[in-house]
């Protein structure tokens, strides 16, 4: 690829900024100063900017603990997005969230520029489990567990695969429950609609795992960590 694309992809700067660095004579490939932004470079080449090595990494993976009030989108004119939570040096070209969490849903969200992995994790036939923890207005009981396990058909005709519901706590006096639910789909507002179909309401919702990934207990809301592909596809 061209050296200006290589450096722009590695967030050294925009194409225009990279051109200025090249003009200053501080970009080198294998020890030789670059004269033109059109120079071709391979991933195996040794690239430096002002003496500092810039190693090429094609794909990047970030595990974010999404806070409330943030959109699972790459950009928005008026509201913060999950991309805006990344440090500037980590906003690599093509980074997108894998699937979506609603604006008021928190927890595990993977961000990557690896389109194939994105497909692998989201394709319905791949059966990637997702586990959520929630607080519910309403008392979930054994009948709720059986209803979810049997597979539901929502009021609009949407058919859902069986879901595994675990009741963590019930408070009959306050008409609330705490639950965990495992699903293999990611339909629009799916968990909220499922509980709505049995006369309950989701008050708080957090995703705690997706496939092989589990949300680290010490990762605070709005924080993220970088992963390797092996961490995701064990």
pLDDT tens by residue, 104-160:
999 999 999 999 999 889 887 777 999 999 999 999 999 999 999 999 999 899 999
Measured between alpha carbons, how far is 194 from 45 in angstroms, rounded to an integer? Answer: 53
Same structural domain, 227 and 120? yes
Q: Which one of 14, 30, 53 terminates a domain?
A: 53
15 half-sphere exposure, CB direction, 13 A CA radius:
5
Would the pLDDT of 4 be above 70? yes
Q: What is the pLDDT of residue 205?
A: 98
Alpha helices in the chain (DSSP H): 3-9, 15-23, 115-122, 142-149, 190-197, 229-232
Q: What is the CATH number of the domain that holds 11?
A: 3.10.290.10
Nearest CA-CA partner of 98 in 67, 70, 63: 63
Nearest CA-CA partner of 105 in 47, 218, 190, 224: 190
Same structural domain, 13 and 49? yes
Task: Tell me the whole-structure pTM to 2 decimals.
Answer: 0.85
Measured between alpha carbons, how far is 166 from 39 in angstroms, rounded to an integer? Answer: 58
Q: What domain range includes position 71? A: 61-124+213-232
Express as a percent the part of the chain with pLDDT over 90.
81
- Mean pLDDT to the nearest integer, 51-68: 94
Mean pLDDT score of the chain: 94
pLDDT tens per residue, range 79-91: 999 999 999 989 9
Same structural domain, 140 and 193? yes
Same structural domain, 74 and 113? yes
Task: Kindly list the catalytic residues.
Answer: 102
User: How many residues appear in the chain?
Assistant: 234
Task: Give the torsion sign (CA, 65, 71, 77, 80).
Answer: negative
Same structural domain, 113 and 222? yes
Q: What is the pLDDT of residue 234?
A: 66
Same structural domain, 186 and 205? yes
Cβ atoms within 10 Å of 50's Cβ, excluding its own: 10
Q: What is the pLDDT of residue 186?
A: 82
């Amino acid at each position: 690829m061209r050296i200006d694309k290589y450096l722009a992809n590695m967030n050294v700067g925009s194409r225009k900024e990279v051109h200025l660095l090249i003009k200053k004579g501080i970009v080198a490939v294998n020890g030789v100063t670059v004269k033109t932004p059109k120079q071709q470079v391979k991933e195996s080449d040794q690239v430096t900017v002002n003496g500092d090595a810039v190693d090429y990494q094609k794909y990047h993976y970030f595990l974010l603990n999404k806070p409330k009030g943030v959109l699972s989108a790459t950009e928005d004119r008026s509201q913060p997005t999950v991309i805006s939570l990344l440090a500037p040096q980590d906003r690599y070209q093509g980074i997108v969230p894998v699937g979506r969490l609603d604006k008021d849903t928190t927890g595990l969200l993977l961000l990557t520029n690896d389109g194939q992995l994105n497909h692998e994790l989201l394709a319905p036939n791949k059966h990637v489990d997702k586990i959520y923890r929630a607080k519910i207005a309403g008392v979930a009981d054994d009948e709720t567990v059986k209803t979810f396990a049997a597979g539901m058909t929502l009021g609009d005709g949407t058919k859902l695969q069986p879901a595994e519901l675990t009741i963590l706590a019930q408070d009959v006096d306050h008409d609330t429950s705490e639950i965990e639910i495992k699903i293999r789909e990611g339909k629009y507002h799916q968990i909220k609609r499922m509980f709505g179909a049995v006369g309950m309401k989701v008050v708080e919702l957090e995703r705690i795992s997706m496939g092989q990934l589990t949300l680290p207990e010490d990762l605070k809301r709005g924080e993220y960590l970088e992963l390797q592909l092996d961490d995701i596809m064990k």
